[in-house]
Homo-oligomer: A and B are copies of this chain.
Amino acid sequence: MNIADQTIPAIEAANEDRAQAIRDQLRDAIVDRRLAPGTKLSEGEVGTLFDVSRTVARAALQMLSFEGLVRTERNRGAFVANPSPEEARQVFASRRLIEPGIAIAAAGRMTPAHVAAFKAQLDEEGRFIAERGPNARRSEIKASGDFHLLLASVAGNVILQRFMEELVARSSLVIALYGRSGISSCGHNEHTQILEALENGNAERGSALMLHHIDHIEADLDLRVRSGPALRQALEF
């Protein structure tokens, strides 16, 4: 397990909370799939890995558990979340409720600076799609999520922004788990279209496009139950 090394050390803002920094690195590792769902994250291991005591490692894991990226079982430890198809559906149902509204809110607050940031974001996204290999694919999922987070930040509601951070992180996990690899790149075009609409102040259109976009992302998943019933099915055959 080499998490701390792979991510950029980034000259930690020293007096910033250490637990928070560890949480951020672990979160990146989880949504990037460097840590597979189900992986055990023992307090001791995390602690030695980041060179802190179990106390602060534990705090970081507790934060991730609140975000739903980690599941903790009493006296057993913390594990990278392994969202069920039902959970996956709920994540996207939540996004369908929230994100069209965020798009509308963002439309009313777009500044040229915001537009420029979006353009840069979309460029980077396009670059990752052009590349090949599983590493680029990880980056692509991440960049795609960042588009939605950027939009949430423009909307200017910090509560919704935090909700979106959680939903995007969980979505990345879900996509990594249930995504059919090939198709998702069409999302880039949709992002472009959404930006276009919002840039022109067409909030309603941006909102509608966003709703379709979320539908498309979910449609690209294979959410048939597998582990429990599928196993039984396979054996009873």
Contact = CB atoms under 8 A, between A and B. Distances in A.
A16 to B, nearest CB: 9
Contact of A101 (B63, B68, B97, B158): B97
Interface of A: 15, 17, 55, 59, 62-63, 66, 68, 74, 87, 90-91, 93-94, 96-98, 101-102, 105, 157-160, 163, 167, 170
Contacts of A93: 105, 157, 160
A55 B160 CA distance: 30
Contacts of A68: 159
Contacts of A96: 101
A97 B66 contact: no
Q: How many chain copies? A: 2
30 contacts: A15-B74, A17-B74, A59-B62, A62-B63, A63-B66, A66-B66, A68-B159, A87-B158, A87-B159, A90-B157, A90-B158, A90-B159, A90-B160, A91-B159, A93-B105, A93-B157, A93-B160, A94-B157, A94-B159, A94-B160, A94-B163, A96-B101, A97-B97, A97-B98, A97-B101, A97-B102, A97-B160, A98-B98, A159-B170, A163-B163
Contacts of A170: 159
A159 B87 CA distance: 8
Contacts of A163: 94, 163
A102 B90 CA distance: 12
A172 B78 CA distance: 33
Contacts of A66: 63, 66
Contacts of A59: 62
Contacts of A90: 157-160
A87 B59 CA distance: 26
Contacts of A91: 159
A46 to B, nearest CB: 17
